A = this chain, B = another copy of it.
C-alpha cells in the first residue's frame, strides 16, 4: 500500500504520465528516499538540498514549494509507524528528439510506502566487476539511471547481501545502496567524495568525526570494523567481504552516535 502524489495532487495508486517524459524514457531525473517515523521525515532538508543541487547541475527545473507541498500532503495522510518517502523528479517532456532538448516542465512524484523495518544487523559484501564511473557527474548524484547498481547487486546476489563497488582506479567507492566506513584504532575513515561515490545523507552525519581518504580493499581487510550507511537502514555492519571475515569490533557507539543525530 502506497500513498501517491503526482504533479500537484494526491492520486489513486497509478500515475498518468506522458509516454515521452524523459524520466520514463531515459532515466533523466533524480530521486531521494527518506525514512519516515511517526509521520516525521528524517533529514528531509538535507535530502531536498541534495536534490536541488543535482537538479541545477542537470538543468532540471526544481520547484521547492511544490515539492514541500507534496511531502506535507503525503505526510498528513500517513498512518504508518515506519515508512519510506520517495521523491522523484524528472525532466519531463522536452522540445526535441535531441538528448540536449530543453523547455520541459518537470514531473514531480512523491510516494509513501510502509517500511517493514526488517533491517539486517549485519551483511556480507562481494566485489562487483562493475566499476563506479567517477568521470561522470552522475556518479555523485542520485539519478534515475540506476542500472549499474542494479547489475552489480544482481552480479553478487548468490554469494553476498550487497556488492562492493570499486572506482576506475580500483579503489573502494561504495556499496550499491550505501556508503562505506571503516574503523581503525580510533580513526573513522570513508572514501573521499571524488572517488565515484554518491555522498549519502547518513554519511554526512559521520563526517565531522571521520577522515575522507582513498581506501583500498586491503584497508577494509585490515580494519577493526567496516560498516555501511544508508538513510533508511542507518548503520549496518559488514562482517564478510568476498567470503573473508572482516574485523568485528562492536559498532554500538557508532550506532548511538548516528541515532542521536536524528534530531528530535
- Interfacial residues, chain A to chain B (CB-CB below 8 A): 2, 4, 6, 13-20, 23-28, 31, 58-59, 84, 86, 88, 97-100, 109, 111, 113, 129-131, 133, 135-138, 143-151, 153-154, 157, 168, 176-177
Contacts and interface: CB of A to CB of B under 8 A. Distances in A.
Number of copies: 2
Contacts of A109: 19, 24
Contact of A88 (B18, B25, B144, B146): B25
Across chains A and B, which 6 residue pairs bring their CB atoms closest together, nearest first? A27-B27, A145-B145, A145-B147, A99-B153, A26-B146, A133-B133
Contact of A151 (B23, B97, B136): B136
27 contacts: A13-B18, A16-B16, A17-B17, A19-B88, A24-B24, A24-B109, A24-B144, A25-B88, A26-B146, A26-B147, A26-B150, A27-B144, A27-B147, A28-B147, A58-B151, A84-B97, A98-B153, A99-B176, A100-B157, A131-B133, A131-B135, A131-B168, A133-B136, A137-B151, A144-B145, A145-B146, A145-B147
Contacts of A154: 59, 99-100
Given A133-B131, A136-B151, A148-B136, A2 B24 contact: no
Contacts of A151: 58, 136-138
A147 B138 contact: yes
Given A131-B136, A136-B131, A25 B31 contact: yes
Nearest to A148: B136
A6 B64 CA distance: 32
A24 B23 contact: yes
Given A100-B157, A147-B28, A111 B14 contact: no
A23 B88 CA distance: 12
A24 B145 contact: no
Contact of A19 (B6, B19, B28, B153): B6
Nearest to A14: B16
Nearest to A15: B19
Contacts of A98: 153
A25 B99 CA distance: 20
Contacts of A99: 146, 149-150, 153-154, 176-177
Contact of A130 (B27, B86, B136, B147): B136
Specify which of A18, A25, A109, A131 lies most central, judged by the most chain B CB atoms within 10 Å of its CB: A25
Nearest to A23: B24
